[in-house]
Every structure is written in C-alpha cells, then in structure tokens.
Amino acid sequence: MNIVFIDDDKNIRNLYRKIVEKQFPDITGIFEAGSVKEGKELLLSIKVDLLILDIDLGDGSGFDVLQAVKPYNFSLIFSTAYNEFAIKAIKFSALDYILKPIDEDEFCVAIDKAIAIREKSNLETQLFNFFEDYEKRNDTKKLVLKTAGELHIVDINDIVFCKSDNSYTTFSFKDSDDIIVSRSMKEFEDILSDYNFFRPHTSYLVNLNHIQKLDKSDGGFLILKNGKEIPVSQRKKARLIKILEEL
C-alpha cells in the first residue's frame, strides 16, 4: 500500500512519516510533496492508495492538485488548520479530514478508517459536491449521505426531520424513503443549524420549514406538515417559541 502526504510544512510531513512508520508497518510506500507542482507530478507518476492532502499549499491549494489528477483511484483525507467554512463543506460532502495541530490518535483513526473502507468509487461524486460548496461559497443546498452500500446526494430543503438512534441517524424526507446513516445526530446538527434546522428534543432535529404548528399541551410537541408529531423538551420550548415567532 502506498501513502502520499502533500503539505507545504516539512515538519508536518516528517511527523506524518514518523507516525505511519511506527503505527502502520504494512504501509511500505511512503511518498511526500511540498507544493501543488510537486504533488501533481508525484500523483501522476505512482500508484496511490491513500492521499493526505493539505487544503492550503504555498503555491495554490489542494483543490488545484485534485483537479489535475482525475480519475481518482485513491482514498482521500484532507488536512487543515481550523477553517470553519472548509470543515463545513467537507462534512456536507461526507469526506474525511484531520485538524492541525495533529493529534496522533485522531490521525491513526482516520488512516484506519480509510484503509478499512477504501471507497474510491465515491470520491469523484463527493469531491464534486465539495467543490460546489467550497469554491462558490454560497448557501449550500446539497448534503451527501453515505450508507453501507450507497451514496445519496439530497436536497436539504427536502429533509423533514432527522431522528437519532445512538450512533445512527435516520433522515425522513418529504417525498422519498428514509435514509439511515451511521453517524451521530450531533454531527448533522453542527452542519444543518445554519439552514433552518432546530433540535427540539434529544432524539430529533427538525427542518423548521416543515412545521405546521406547535401544540403547547402535554408538555409540548410539534406537528409537521406531513402529520408527524415531534416531542419538544421543556428546556428547549421557550427558545423554540422565540425562533418560530421570528420566522
């Protein structure tokens, strides 16, 4: 298995190499590049299984590298210092990433996951969605949902609500079947909260555009346009009422 690091910080590349050599003895090919130019040349010259790519490079960006090396026959992990917009776009596209400064345990978990899944066939679709979100920097309208065997690109406006079941989240839609993904509700709450979603109860995340009314009896519950009733926790009730009044 060949792994490639593309990062303009030599100290970061050295750290990556040190961790991989210590923790992943089965990865025998370790390659690195420090710029967009070097990265393109390297990726076009060798067989790559896993790429760890910095978003911001000295002579351009990781996106410049990716645009030049289609089709994508490798797994990808982005690396970035904290960049709220980039991270949100990455999450919308169900891509993997690690944050700088690097935590060794998180780094190893990301590599383990990439080795186990190896979903190269989905990468082009996910990156297309990512480029749309990140480069245009407008209101994101699409969300990528990964199930065991499929990749779904859904319109955010069509999501009626999400329901939590431990580490799984079920998405319920206006006119299509439910989709169950093995990611926690908290992850989706973080990326959907800017798009008119509210969590009225521990187990539910609701698209406010699909609410018909709030019934204040019996502790309170939401009635959605499709007739579904969603419970409202007592501690969220006042905030929800305020939000609904401002819609």
Question: Which burial class, exposed, middle or buried, applies to 7 when counting CB atoms under 10 A from its CB (0-12, 13-18, 19+)?
Answer: buried
Residue 209: CB partners within 8 Å, gap ≥ 6? 157, 196
Query: Residue 105: pLDDT band by 50, 70, 90 thresholds?
Result: very high
DSSP E strands in 19-105: the ranges are 29-33, 50-54, 56-57, 60-61, 75-80, 96-99
Pairing of strands 151-155, 142-146: antiparallel
Range of the domain at 6: 2-136
Phi, psi (degrees; rounded to nearest 5) at 18 = -60, -45
Place of tokens 């089709």: 71
pLDDT of residue 121: 59
Residues forming a β-bridge with 5: 32, 52
Q: Which comes out higher in pLDDT, residue 134 or 73? A: 73
Same domain, yes or no, for 94 and 202?
Answer: no
CATH number of the domain that 223 lies in?
Answer: 2.40.50.1020
pLDDT of residue 179: 96
Same domain, yes or no, for 88 and 184?
Answer: no
Same domain, yes or no, for 8 and 109?
Answer: yes
- What would the pLDDT profile of 46-86 be if each residue is shown by its tens digit? 999 999 999 889 898 888 899 889 888 899 999 988 667 77
- Of 55, 12, 13, the C-alpha closest to 31 is 13
What's the mean pLDDT in 116-131?
76
| Among 104, 136, 168, residue at a domain's last position | 136
Same domain, yes or no, for 37 and 123?
Answer: yes
Same domain, yes or no, for 238 and 216?
Answer: yes
Direct distance between the N- and C-terminal alpha carbons of the chain, in angstroms, rounded to an integer? 53
pLDDT of residue 86: 77
User: Per the structure block, which two tokens stand in for 36?
Assistant: 């967009």
Same domain, yes or no, for 132 and 147?
Answer: no
Residues forming a β-bridge with 222: 214, 230
Residue 45: CB partners within 8 Å, gap ≥ 6? none
pLDDT at 159 over 90: yes
Domain count for the chain: 2
Query: Residue 139: pLDDT band by 50, 70, 90 thresholds?
Result: low
Phi, psi (degrees; rounded to nearest 5) at 216 = -85, -5
- What would the pLDDT profile of 196-229 be if each residue is shown by its tens digit? 999 999 999 999 999 999 998 777 899 999 999 9
Query: What is the percent of the chain with per-residue pLDDT over 90, rounded to a whole number?
Result: 56
The DSSP string of 200-217 is EETTEEEEGGGEEEEE-G
Same domain, yes or no, for 203 and 169?
Answer: yes
pLDDT of residue 213: 93
| Among 119, 136, 153, residue at a domain's last position | 136
Same domain, yes or no, for 117 and 208?
Answer: no
Contact 66, 53 (CB under 8 A): yes
Same domain, yes or no, for 78 and 155?
Answer: no
Contact 31, 17 (CB under 8 A): no
Whole-angstrom distance, CA of residue 230 vs CA of residue 210: 12
Same domain, yes or no, for 78 and 173?
Answer: no
CATH number of the domain that 10 lies in?
Answer: 3.40.50.2300
User: Per the structure block, which two tokens stand in for 52?
Assistant: 């760890």
| Among 109, 136, 163, residue at a domain's last position | 136
Same domain, yes or no, for 167 and 116?
Answer: no
Same domain, yes or no, for 127 and 209?
Answer: no
Query: pTM value?
Result: 0.69
